[in-house]
Amino acid sequence: MTNQTPGYPHLLAPLDLGFTTLRNRVIMGSMHTGLEDRFYNYGKLAAFYRERARGGVGLIVTGGISPNRSGWLLPFGGTLNFAGDVFNHRRVTGAVHEEGGKILMQILHAGRYGYQPLVVSASAKKSPISPFKPRALTAAGIEATIRDYARCATLAKQAGYDGIEVMGSEGYLLNQFLCARTNLRTDRWGGTIENRMRLPVDIVTRIRAAVGPDFIIMYRHSLLDLVDGGNTWDDVVAVAQALQRAGVNILNTGYGWHEARVPTIVTSVPRGAFASVAGRLRREVTIPVVASNRINMPHEAEDILARGDADMVSMARPFLADAHFVAKAAAGRADEINTCIGCNQACLDHTFSNQRASCLVNPRACHETELVYAISARPRRVAVVGAGPAGLSAATVAAECGHDVTLFDSSDSVGGQFKIAMQIPGKEEFAETIRYFRRKIDLVGVKLKLGVRVTREQLLAEGYDDVAIATGIKVRRPPIPGIDHRSVLSYIDVLQNKAPVGRRVAIIGAGGIGFDVGEFLLHDPRHALPLALETWTAEWGVDLKARGGGGLVPAQAPQPVRQLYLLQRKTSKLGAGLGKTSGWVHRATLARNGVVMMAGVQYDSIDDQGLHITVGGERRLLAVDNIIVCAGQDSLTELMPAGEPANGGPRFHKIGGAALAAELDAKRAIKEGAQWAVGL
């Protein structure tokens, strides 16, 4: 998928703002890492941003910092409202400036999205994603909020930031004032768009008055709300023009409220899906406009700028995946970029479960001071068996740390189960991770031996100091009477070996792989993968021209290509264990296509009639053509020695699926591989 064309003239061009110049057109968008909420983590936060500034990004935006307590996303979240806080922030700005970078602090007031009891909003209307009902701000409360924003920006200036970003999208407080969905007021802050935009515009005006002209004000504006009661395109343009008049220097763009039922950043959203919307806005204002969402490679960013859809490009998660994204692009080494695959597993899923953010493909993200890939004083001879995510990570990090590494795999290419995962519609990006590791193997000098089914004797004979067993898993075959019937297939048969599958199918097991197999079988072969933008917008009911409010239109009626039953023994909701921020997308896709999801199933037998089950005490027959087993896996550990190796033999270690198959995912596999290599 990677475009190898060297040179990104638009992306790497400086941007002159009059009083300051940005070194290129790349913004690292705001991400809440979890480090900004506690003063004792600011050293780690500074190291995180320092590495990104060193990697060449033009402008960094911090995670959201609240201007007051009622704006907290979480209790005691990062706040900048008194002079004593400035000291912590100076560590961050100092680190970025030492590396030649520029940084804005994002001011985020969560409004009714706050997960805490002090929440306020335009009106007392609870959001579906927080249990706390907000209090409607009084006129005096609104005035105090404006003052808090201006004070917060002034303190940010004192802390050495090059400017601030005012968060006005994603359904947070200012978006709540902007839209009739949440603004039911009848005073001068509600009703017409002129009244609804008064709060964001007054905030920008007061910030500009407080900080003077030589300080960047970027505003993140919601171009498509993707909720009922969202703004029309005319409203969006009117607000943007008013913000420009109030003193905004750069307009960043946002798509979809957090409560929207349209995905906007997960892997299945086509790359650059929303860039044309930023392009339309760019024709309505004269200040620079930023494109954002699902832009993860430099050639895409370059194309967006070259065709005039934006003046700058914002990428957030791609900078968790690779701090040196810009430097690699500038040096013509885009094929070395560790690409964000849009999985959300270690970033947003962590944030929403109150853990520190990191990255599935780069476990160093937000752990720069803790997971250090330094040259070892004791280089060792190392064998890694298995070139799946765990083995690839272990081998490349070990070689980067100066060890002499041989990596074996019995197949003819690297990637392990990621080669199967990338067959799933919407997971095509997983191919980028394989591409990254394959390139890294050459760069760090790992000796790669493919097509070799390693034996224990071979490992013992070849004089290694350390052996990592990263052989992954074997699929579980549940002992159901009739499991050997010809209608029964494993997910490997279907996804890897492309076994023919009939029109009526039962899937045994509703974990991540059961859901993925469901999506694979529902894919209409008339649509090429990855899905074209028009197919995706029709499927989710998105109108990129935002002719009606919020950019929503009726979704196209699905025409399922198969009748599917997705089954599990547990009585809990199907898909409960899927990612917090992506699971709903998978559930919605399957539900829309009429998949029958059944919990509390007992599998009785399989025969020529189909699958016999008992549910709720009642026996049933699912008359299906095929039964596909997605019932989990067990570790493949046949290479591990039975006891301690003889004196002088290598130390054996298990990592990834070989260590523990239960609740295995690539996040754990890659992290374990890196941690093992660093600990050698």
Q: What residues act catalytically?
A: 172
Q: Cα-flanking dihedrals φ and ψ of residue 253, to 5°?
A: -125, 150
**From the list ligand NAP, ligand FAD, ligand SF4, none, partner contacted by residue 26 (C-beta under 5 to 8 A by kind):** none
Nearest to 69 by CA among 146, 148, 177, 167: 148
Q: How far is the CB of 152 from ligand FAD (least distance, A)?
A: 38
Looking at 18-26, 76-84, 383-391, 539-547, which segment touches ligand FAD (CB under 6 A)?
A: 383-391
Alpha-carbon distance 648 to 336, whole Å?
A: 38
Q: Is the dihedral of CA 116, 121, 127, 129 positive or negative?
A: negative
Interacting residue with ligand FAD among 316, 420, 459, 505 (CB under 6 A) = 420
Instruction: Determine, following the binding rule CB under 6 A, whether residue 567 of this chain makes contact with ligand FAD.
Output: no
Instruction: Determine, following the binding rule CB under 6 A, whether residue 478 of this chain makes contact with ligand NAP.
Output: yes
Q: Which is nearer to ligand NAP, 66 or 345 (CB)?
A: 345
Print the SS3 string covering 293-315.
CCCCCHHHHHHHHHCCCCCEEEE
Instruction: Determine, following the binding rule CB under 6 A, whether residue 341 of this chain makes contact with ligand SF4.
Output: yes
Q: In this chain, which residue has its C-beta nearest to ligand NAP?
A: 511
Q: Which amino acid is at 605?
A: S
Q: Is the dihedral of CA 165, 170, 172, 176 positive or negative?
A: positive
Instruction: Determine, following the binding rule CB under 6 A, whether residue 94 of this chain makes contact with ligand NAP.
Output: no
- Grouping H, G, I as helix, E, B as strand and the rest as coil, residue 474 is strand
Instruction: Determine, following the binding rule CB under 6 A, whether residue 434 of this chain makes contact with ligand FAD.
Output: no
Number of residues that bind ligand FAD (CB under 6 A): 38
Instruction: Determine, following the binding rule CB under 6 A, whether residue 344 of this chain makes contact with ligand NAP.
Output: no
Q: How far is the CB of 673 from ligand FAD (least distance, A)?
A: 7
Nearest to 673 by CA among 350, 356, 387, 442: 387
Looking at 128-136, 334-342, 576-584, 641-649, which segment touches ligand SF4 (CB under 6 A)?
A: 334-342
Tokens 């591409």: give the residue: 435
Instruction: Determine, following the binding rule CB under 6 A, whether residue 391 of this chain makes contact with ligand FAD.
Output: yes
Helix axes 139-158, 86-98, angle to 10 degrees: 50
Spatial neighbors of 483 by CB under 8 A, at least 6 apart, are 477, 606, 629
Instruction: Determine, following the binding rule CB under 6 A, whether residue 471 of this chain makes contact with ligand FAD.
Output: yes
Looking at 213-221, 337-345, 505-513, 650-658, which segment touches ligand SF4 (CB under 6 A)?
A: 337-345
Q: Which is nearer to ligand NAP, 220 or 427 (CB)?
A: 427
Spatial neighbors of 523 by CB under 8 A, at least 6 apart, are 425, 529, 561
Q: Binding mask 341-380 vs ligand FAD (x if CB under 6 A, - otherwise)?
A: --x-x-----------------------------------
Instruction: Determine, following the binding rule CB under 6 A, whether residue 298 of this chain makes contact with ligand NAP.
Output: no
* Count of C-beta atoms within a 10 Å radius of residue 307: 12
Q: Which amino acid is at 4?
A: Q
Interacting residue with ligand FAD among 20, 81, 410, 602 (CB under 6 A) = 410
Q: Which residues ranging from 627 to 646 are in contact with ligand NAP (CB under 6 A)? A: 630-633
Q: How far is the CB of 669 from ligand SF4 (least distance, A)?
A: 13
Interacting residue with ligand NAP among 570, 615, 616, 634 (CB under 6 A) = 570
Number of residues that bind ligand SF4 (CB under 6 A): 14
Tokens 């023919």: give the residue: 500
Interacting residue with ligand FAD among 468, 489, 495, 508 (CB under 6 A) = 495
- 461 by Cβ neighbours in 10 Å (0-12 / 13-18 / 19+) ranks as exposed
- E strand spans, 540-636: 563-567, 596-598, 601-607, 610-615, 618-622, 626-629, 633-635
Which DSSP symbol is given to 34? S
Q: How far is the CB of 502 from ligand NAP (least distance, A)?
A: 21
Instruction: Determine, following the binding rule CB under 6 A, whether residue 579 of this chain makes contact with ligand NAP.
Output: yes
Rg (CA), the chain: 26
Q: How far is the CB of 545 from ligand SF4 (least distance, A)?
A: 28
- Grouping H, G, I as helix, E, B as strand and the rest as coil, residue 429 is coil
Alpha-carbon distance 487 to 163, whole Å?
A: 63
Cis preceding-peptide flag for 530 (omega within 30 of 0):
yes
Instruction: Determine, following the binding rule CB under 6 A, whether residue 171 of this chain makes contact with ligand FAD.
Output: no
**From the list ligand SF4, ligand FAD, ligand NAP, none, partner contacted by residue 359 (C-beta under 5 to 8 A by kind):** ligand SF4
Whether 296 contacts 361, CB under 8 Å:
no
Binding site for ligand FAD (CB under 6 A): 343, 345, 385-391, 408-411, 416-418, 420-421, 424, 453-454, 470-473, 495, 512-513, 516, 636, 639, 656-657, 664-667, 669
Binding site for ligand SF4 (CB under 6 A): 317, 320-321, 340-347, 359-361
